[in-house]
Every structure is written in C-alpha cells, then in structure tokens.
Amino acid sequence: MDMTMQQYIDEAESVLLHTYNRYQVVFDRGEGVYLYDMEGGRYLDFVSGIAVFALGYHNREYNDALKEQIDKIIHTSNYYYNRPAIEAAKKLKAVSGMDRVFFTNSGAEAVEGAIKTARKYAYLKDGRTDHEIIAMEHSFHGRTMGALSVTGNAHYREPFEPMIGHIRFAALNDFDSVLAQVTDRTCAILFETVQGEGGIYPATEDFMRKVRALCDERDILMMLDEIQCGMGRTGEMFAWQRYGVKPDVMTTAKALGCGVPVGAFLMTEKVGAHSLEAGDHGATYGGNPLVCAAVCKVLELYEKQDVLANVRTVGAYLERQLDALAAEYPCITARRGVGLMQGLVFDRPVGDIIRDAMSRGLVLINAGTDIIRFVPPLVISRENVDEMIAILRQSIREVCC
C-alpha cells in the first residue's frame, strides 16, 4: 500500500538524524524550474537545491549524459586515469583561467583541500608548521572541521571546539582589518567572493585589489570560495571575473555538477608546483567518471544555452523587481546581491514568510534569520520572476501587514 506524504514525513523523523528543520513536504520530481510533491502540488523553485540545479530539472541532455556514463563505468578510483575527469578538468581550466584541478565530493572538501594547499605551500618555503590563515567574519565555508575552522560565525564553531589552530578573522571589505591580522606567519587570506550564508554580501573591487596586492607583496595565497557564487550565478562564470582579480586558489562545487556530488579546488601553476605532492591528499570518489561526465555536460550546456547572458538579463530584472518590492513594504530594509544571487533584508525573522510562500507554491530559503535568499535555477525567465514576486507579495501582506 502506498504511503501518504505525511506518513513519509513521520517515518523520516523516526529514521533520520535530526540535524535539519525540514519543511513539511516530500518533493517527488522536477520539471524546468518547478518542483512537484508526492500529491501533485507544484512549486516555483527559487532555491534550486541551494544554488545547485542551475540548469533546472529534467534537462534531457544532462540526464542522457549521465545515463550513458552509467552504462560505461561509474567508478575506478584515482589510481587510474579516466577520460571524463581529464575532459572535465580541461573544460574547467578553460572557463576559470586556473591551471591545476583537484576534484572533490563537496564544497566543504574543496575548502579542506585549499587549506592543506596553503599550509603545504608555506611549509615548503620555511619548514614551519605554525602558519596562519586569515578568514572573514560572517563567512560560511562548510561543516567539516577544517572548513568550520575558517567559518566566521562562532555559533557554528563553539560546540565543536577546539578547531584547527592558527586561524584569524577579519571583516570583509575592510582592508585595514585584514592588514591588522597579517603576521610573518600568514600563509593565506580566504574569503567568499560573495558571502552567502552571511547575508549576501559581495566583496568590493577595491577590497579584492588591495588583498591581491598584499598577497603578491608578501607571497601569501589569495584563496576565493566560489562554491555558491560561482558557476555563473553572478553573470560571470566565477564572481572574481567581474573585476579580473585572479586568486591563487579557488574552490567550486554546487552548480559544478548540477545535482551530482562534485566539487573542486583549483590553483595556479606556481601553487600546483610548490604545494601538494603525491601522497599529500586524496579522495576515493573524487573525480570519478560519473560526476565528471556531469561536469563536462554542464559546462557544455552553459555555453550552448548561453546561460551567462540569461543571468545578466534576468538577474538585472530580478534586482529591479526586488527593489520595487522593498520600496513598497517598510518591513523590507535592504536588497543586496549580484545577478541571480540576491537577498532581501527584513526587520524581523523571515521564517513565517517563507512558510507562507511555500503554502502558495513558492520555494524560498533564508540566509540568517532576517534575510530571504534568492538563488533560482540560472535558466529562469522574467515571467518566472513575475510569478515569484506576485506570490511573495501575498506572503508579505499576510505576515507583515
């Protein structure tokens, strides 16, 4: 006998570890920019699996590429070469301008690899093991112990201390605060090009250029986390390309595979030649043929469908519509963001607004307690934006007025 959606939810509560406060819905399938629950309810998706499903759901070319690879080979380990990994690395190099690629299973693992890269780079210079990394306040880099150590929110870190040592925190877009943390032991400066969980704060061009110059002057690695803001979300393939301020090390994930678990950290040739060596790092599943076939197809479809152009056009339209909404309701105090990575700041917690919107067929997510985050599939249209705004307006009226 088939179970109801509520029965599945009840069963989940009895078998899954309670680390998420999930919304009361079981999604069953997707089509384009819409999700459908088990009972046939349709939802406009402005979350895209937290900035993952950039191409929307049920993209036939993407699905067929995965099916074809499944029928060939899924996994072999990194003791052997595989063609999809080589092709994916070549394509990723071409769109990023970086030189060396290491494939991981997630964004957090990519950050872990970046941290190890920075410390090994510094160790090879002077043999010391007390090098420091400067990260940013309000940042979010992942839940593993290394990624958590550079996440600039004490609430996330405190229950799991002690973290890995020698981490200092500065303020994004405040270069003097960065300079105040620099010592002769600083080996890297790490930040998100656009902070996501921390409130949708883009790094400024001035800040990035000053950090780049400082890193060049002192042989410190500039490391950018592009896990959420990369892969076209800001209108450039990677957000740093808006300013042309190239990092030494970069992380990516989320939309890199559009649904399969894959991330990567990339570096320049200089860093690649003077950091991690054979035996220093590994990942059993990292870069397996299945996920790399997905990466290849994603990058191919970005070009074929001119995804970046759509982000620039629809992202600008989304900004205008959100600004108009903010002007309409006093409970909205600000809009921040770039492209299709936007946030509306409210003068109150947004949980009730998000829940009301879901009841009306719109999926949204927060960034902190008082910000609604908008990270839809990158293939959305102006009409999808209009539909979202109409539903969100109803929810704001219901909750705030």
Q: Number of C-alpha atoms within 13 angstroms, CB side, residue 336?
A: 20
- State both tokens at 134: 């400067």
Strands (E) across 155-295 are located at 167-170, 186-192, 194-195, 201-202, 221-225, 249-252, 263-267
Q: Tokens 């970005």, residue?
A: 302
pLDDT at 111 over 70: yes
pLDDT at 239 over 80: yes
CA distances from 342 to 172, 202, 301 (A): 18, 10, 24
Write the CB contacts of 191 (distance below 8 Å, at least 6 apart in sequence).
Answer: 135, 136, 139, 172, 203, 211, 223, 224, 225
Q: Number of C-alpha atoms within 13 angstroms, CB side, residue 315?
A: 22
- Rounded CA gap, 264 and 110, in Å? 5
Output Rg (C-alpha) for the chain, integer angstroms: 21
**DSSP character for 137?**
B
pLDDT at 318 over 60: yes
Contact by Cβ (8 Å): 265, 61: no
Contact by Cβ (8 Å): 28, 9: no
- Calculate mean pLDDT across residues 329-350: 97
Name the strand (E) or helix (H) holding 8: helix 5-15
- Rounded CA gap, 166 and 316, in Å? 41
Question: What rounded mean pLDDT belongs to the chain?
Answer: 97
Q: Tokens 């921390």, residue?
A: 198
- Rounded CA gap, 101 and 86, in Å? 10
pLDDT at 1 over 70: no
Q: How confident is the model at residue 129 (pLDDT cuts 50, 70, 90)?
A: very high
pLDDT at 18: 93
Task: Tell me what percent of the residues of the chain surpass a pLDDT of 90.
Answer: 98
Task: Tell me what percent of the residues of the chain surpass a pLDDT of 70.
Answer: 100
- State both tokens at 201: 């704060």
- State both tokens at 63: 């699905």
Q: pLDDT, tens digit, for every residue of 131-168?
A: 999 999 999 999 999 999 999 999 999 999 999 999 99
Write the CB contacts of 357 (distance below 8 Å, at least 6 apart in sequence).
Answer: 363, 364, 391, 392, 395
5-55+306-400 and 61-304 share one fold? no
pLDDT at 218: 97
- Calculate mean pLDDT across residues 24-37: 96
Domain 5-55+306-400 architecture: Alpha-Beta Complex (3.90)
CA distances from 52 to 48, 259, 300 (A): 6, 6, 16
Strands (E) across 259-308 are located at 263-267
3-state secondary structure of 86: helix
pLDDT at 401: 77
- Calculate mean pLDDT across residues 227-235: 98
Partners of 265 in the beta sheet? 102, 251
- Rounded CA gap, 122 and 131, in Å? 7
The domain defined by 61-304 folds into: Aspartate Aminotransferase; domain 2 (3.40.640)
DSSP states of 29-42? EEEBTEEEETT--E
Q: pLDDT, tens digit, for every residue of 247-300?
A: 999 999 999 999 999 999 999 999 999 999 999 999 999 999 999 999 999 999
Q: Residues, the chain, total?
A: 401
Domain ranges of the chain: 5-55+306-400, 61-304
Torsion of CA 276, 281, 282, 287, to 10 degrees: -40
Q: How confident is the model at residue 69 (pLDDT cuts 50, 70, 90)?
A: very high
Q: pLDDT, tens digit, for every residue of 178-220?
A: 999 999 999 999 999 999 998 999 999 999 999 999 999 999 9
